[in-house]
Amino acid sequence: MTDDSTPTDRDAQTADVPAHWNHTRRMTDGGQPAEQGRDGVLIGNQADEEAVLDRGPFERWASKAIKNPERAYKSMFYTATIFFLLTTLFPFYWLLMVALTPEGRQQDIILTPNGFNPGAFIEVFEVLPFHWYMFNSFVIATASTIIVLVIGSLAGYAFGRLNFRGKLPLMLLVLVISFFPPAAFFIPLNDLFNTSFFALEPITGDGTLYNTPGAMVLPLSAIFMPLAIFILTTFYAQIPDGLEDAARVEGTTRLGALFRVIIPLSAPGVATAGVLTFIAVYNEFFFSFLMTDGQPENWAPLLEGILGYQGQYEVLYHLMAASSIIGVIPVAILVIVAQEKIVSGLTAGALKE
Amino acid sequence: MARVRLENVTKRYEDVTAVDDVSLDIEDGEFVTFVGPSGCGKSTTMETVAGLTKPTEGRVYIGDDDVTTLAPKDRGVAMVFQNIALFPHMDVYDNISFGLRLRTYDDAEIERRVEQAADIVQLEGMLDRMPGEMSGGQQQRVGIARAIVRNPDVFLMDEPLANLDAKLRVHMRTELQRLHRELETTIIYVTHDQAEAMTMSNRIAVLNEGRLQQIAPPLVCYNEPTNLFVAGFIGSPSMNFAEGTLVETGLETRNFDIEFDPAQLQGVTVGDDITLGIRPEDVHLRKNADSLAAQTAPIDAQTDVLEPMGDEVFVYLLLSEAETGSMEQDPASSPNQLLMSVTPDTAIEAEEDVDVVLDRSKIHLFDTASGDALLHGLVERSEREPGTTPTEADS
């Protein structure tokens, strides 16, 4: 090993070399095993002072990130966000481009529409009564949400606030049923809904539920109920017993306490369950597609409307795209509004205890 | 306004008996406090009155009505909760008027009564605040206003002052007494703090392990406890106990003897284990005890620790030389320790040998086996004077 205190020519020479040459020098040294030890010391000495100079931009960034992990988290956050936004929003952008491109020119759309035809957004309502399909979807989704919230609240109250025998098995049963594939229910349900019941005749005319909102509301409420029950159970269980006791002593029944105190205080949970159910029903494909004959007057939902632009001999892609965008807008608005509600509920819901 | 009657109320949970055969009768307009250690069943007993808990056995009457199976809302009771339990999503006005709005009152009447209630608890000008914006004392006043606004027959208070700081607690104590005087409503008050029980109530119901131990005016509970539990629970610091044996000449304990005629005691015979109880203020230094009408023979003791409280000084006395004070044992139950309370001007120091005497008229004797009181106050027959007649416990 060469002592540092007795510099050789080579050391002196190295010292004279401009800083950006060191990289090159080290590379060449690698090919000279005999002098490696000597240079090893040399490089070791330099490393302290010139490490920053030695590194490429990525290495520099990495060393900064190690010293300051916030940077790494921030960049990870941005990467994930950009990825997420690209993968979710780009299809919508593409949909918009397809909608704006006039009929028959749908090939070769690259980022910009081939032409400009905003009239497609009006045409969708002219070709089919698309508003009627949307109305049907709204009615079905709203009815399902109301049913899910009311029944889910009662179940959530029982599961969250009462102690009774068989509570856990019952809850597990609800959970297990929610794992069944909806298709498993289809054949029996379709059979059932096509069976004529005398009691239903005054309501549906022919006594069957097929081609009525009931044929979608009933199975969809049942399918999305377990999730709502779980969300509501968690929220209702957190309301202090004292508040319910106070309400009951003040003059409500248990049910009154649920609606006057527990539900208002669980507003964020109820909003979450409601929004999730509404969106799930609104977006649902399987039962929506099969439980009606596809006619708007027979309560066919949005989905049938969008598929309605697909004829036997031609597919009106630009109208399908336009109607898809129109169909998404109400849900997007709902999510934005509900999100505000949920956040405000979370910050305002300060419970003592 | 109504009287409240519990008949053999028992509440059993799966393997725990929370309330065990409690019967009591609370007069109209009376302020009764349920007191006892944690888990003694006092809150459960109150909940059976409120209707929040259904008793497993027994009946509950409010006024002349059997309310055992009635829902809380139909019982004419109002309740103030330990955790205050204001509805956080409603402002003070809505909180107070909650019960009224559930019934058929017109708006003007509701407003009048809310304002009156707010006036009583001094909440004027705060009716539009949210509970979260108020201090603990203000919140509890809202809780009380919510309870009084409906003019309930019975007022139930479940440790309403437990979550307040010490100073506010004393203040609210007087407020509640004033409130009781103004409203003249029957009040049932639950607390584990015997100072609250002593100061506020007409009668105290002492509960332990689900059983009613004694229901009597505070001073009767203090001066004539029916058993060892009440004697030890009421009074702070707690009563001194010394276990011993009844002999021909009186009581023999490990460290001292008390002379009396065992025939005074009913239900025990010579040879039985009995326990002597004496409150700290009834233990005196011999040199200061001249004013006592009757005192026991002097007891040798050594002072251990002094606790100056300002108005009095608590002196921990060691009766046995052999055993210095062990920190593990509660001085009240340790056989070798005695707690004495003296005035602050008494000349006394730690680790000093002293002679102490007990005030014979304040000695309590209990049957060790059953815990029942045998006698309150030992007075020699010859010295017995009118007005100092000892009271039999079982009366």
Buried b (16+ CB within 10 A) or exposed e, A254-290: eeebbebbbbbbbbbbbbbbbbbbbbbbbebebbbeb
Q: Is the pLDDT of residue A78 over 90?
A: yes
Under 8 Å CB-to-CB from B338, ≥6 apart: which residues? B240, B242, B278, B283, B299, B301, B316, B317, B319, B331, B356
pTM greater than the 0.80 cutoff: no
* Closest listed residue to residue A282, CA positions, set A334, A229, A341, A210: A334
Q: Show pLDDT as tens, one digit a residue, over chain B (395 residues).
A: 688 999 999 999 888 889 999 999 999 999 999 998 888 888 899 999 999 989 999 999 998 889 999 999 889 899 998 888 899 889 999 999 999 999 888 999 999 999 988 888 888 888 999 988 888 888 888 998 999 898 898 999 998 888 788 888 888 888 888 889 988 889 999 998 888 888 889 999 999 999 999 999 999 999 999 999 999 899 888 899 888 888 888 888 888 888 888 888 888 888 888 899 999 999 998 888 888 878 888 888 888 888 998 888 999 888 875 555 455 555 555 667 888 998 888 888 888 888 898 888 889 999 988 889 988 888 654 444 444 444 444 33
The rounded distance, in Å, linking the Cα atoms of A39 and A4 is: 11
A21: pLDDT confidence band, cut at 50, 70 and 90? low
Tell me the H-state helices in A180-266.
Answer: 183-193, 201-204, 214-237, 241-250, 254-257, 263-265
Q: Considering only CB atoms, which chain B residues are within 8 Å of A264?
A: 89
Residue in B77, B88, B89 closest to A249 by CB:
B77
Highest mean pLDDT among A137-141, A182-186, A203-207: A137-141
> Is B105 in CB contact (< 8 Å) with chain A?
no
Alpha-carbon distance of A274 to A235, in angstroms, equals 13
**B50 touches A at CB < 8 Å:** yes
CB A105 within 8 A of CB A115: yes
Q: How far apart are CA B56 and CA B348, in angstroms?
A: 56
Task: Write down the pLDDT at residue B333.
Answer: 56
- The CA distance from B77 to the nearest CA of chain A, in Å, is 7
Q: What is the pLDDT of residues A93-140, one digit of tens each?
A: 988 999 999 888 878 777 888 888 888 899 989 989 999 999 999 999
Are the Cβ atoms of A245 and B98 closer than 8 angstroms? no
- pLDDT confidence of residue A266: 87
% residues pLDDT > 90 (chain A): 31
Q: What is the mean pLDDT of residues A211-237?
A: 91
Dist CA B300 CA A289 (whole Å): 98
Beta strand extents in B88-131 (DSSP E only): none
Residue A37 has pLDDT above 80, yes or no: no
pLDDT value of residue B391:
45
- The number of residues making up chain B comes to 395
With CA atoms as reference, report the closest residue to B168 among B132, B131, B130, B141. Answer: B141
Task: Using CB atoms, pick whichever of B83, B98, B102 lies closest to residue A352.
Answer: B83
Q: How confident is the model at residue A54 (pLDDT cuts 50, 70, 90)?
A: low
Q: What's the topology of domain A120-348?
A: MetI-like fold (1.10.3720)
CA–CA distances in Å: residue A331 to residues A124, A272, B369: 19, 14, 76
**Using a CB-CB distance cutoff of 8 angstroms, which residues of chain A are in contact with residue B86?**
246, 352
Name the minimum distance, in Å, from the CA of A156 to any CA of chain B: 20
Q: How far does the CA of residue B98 sit from the closest CA of chain A (Å)?
A: 7
Which residues of chain B lie closer than 8 angstroms to A253, CB-CB? Answer: 71, 73
Write down the pLDDT at residue A201.
81
Helices (H) then strands (E): counts for chain A: 18, 0
* Nearest CB to A252; choose among B50, B82, B102: B102
Rounded to 5 degrees, what are φ and ψ at B61?
-120, 135
Confidence of residue A168 (pLDDT cuts 50, 70, 90): very high
pLDDT, position A71: 83
Question: In terms of Cα–Cα distance, which of A48, A53, A36 is closest to A2?
Answer: A36
Using a 10 angstrom Cβ sphere, with 0-12 exposed, 13-18 middle and 19 or more buried, the burial of residue A50 is middle
Which residue is closest to A241 within chain B, CA to CA?
Answer: B85
- Per-residue confidence at A31, pLDDT binned at 50, 70, 90? very low
CATH (residue range B237-376):
2.40.50.140
Residue A40 belongs to what H/E stretch? helix A36-54
Give the span between the Cα atoms of B294 and A100, in whole angstroms: 110
Instruction: Tell me the pairing of strands B283-285 and B353-358.
Output: antiparallel
- Name the residue ranges covered by the structural domains of chain A: 9-54, 68-118, 120-348
The mean predicted confidence, pLDDT, of chain A is: 81
Q: Which residues pair with B278 in a beta bridge?
A: B240
3-class secondary-structure state, position A112: strand
Domain B4-232 coded CATH 3.40.50.300: yes
Mean pLDDT over A204-230 rounds to 89
Q: Considering CB atoms only, which of B51, B79, B150 is closest to A246? A: B79
Which of A239, A244, A250 is the best substitution to test chain B (most B C-beta atoms within 10 A)?
A250
